[in-house]
Amino acid sequence: MEEITSVLFVCVHNSARSQMAEEFLKKFGGNRFAVMSGGLEAGTLNPLAVEVMREEGIDISTNKVKSVFEYYKNRMIFDYVITVCDGAHAEKCPIFLGTNKRIHWGFEDPSTVKGTLEEKLVAVRDIRDEIKNSVKAFVKSSTSPHKNLYIFKQDLTDQAYSPVHSEKGNEISL
């Protein structure tokens, strides 16, 4: 029987980025993952995120926003806690005892995009696609023999993901 990996995605309001990441991991990871998401301050679903996920065939319009602190208070343990907000907010995430790996994927906040409705949709689609690609790479890496490794390190100079390295420093191709 295959081991199930538990994952918690965290962002500021659980209104867009963490919701998208949760749904993509459910879609691409199937029953190999127990996945949840939460916000540092639970907000309301971002309608732009709802729309761009609908374009992917995923309906998040009835999803509930959740507080990450509820998981913390209930002493939940996760194999991975993945923050998908900016670095300053990621540092405010509580420490979950028993968590094997804490990973940060920095994505722009969809609630801060500016412009016309169409320009905002274009920007949120880009964010959605970055999240989707990160989740796909995570799923692929979790099926490799290097499962419990630090998965991503973002290169802030060009906003691209650098190669994955094992704890021994060996480069791993995804």
Cβ neighbors of 131 (< 8 A, separation 6 or more) are 17, 20, 21, 24, 84, 105, 107
Annotate 96-135 with DSSP letters as a single string. Answer: -TT-SEEEE-----GGG--SSHHHHHHHHHHHHHHHHHHH
- Helix and strand element counts for the chain (H, E): 5, 8
Q: 4 is written with which tokens?
A: 């199930």
Active site residues: 11, 85, 93
Strands 5-11 and 33-39: parallel
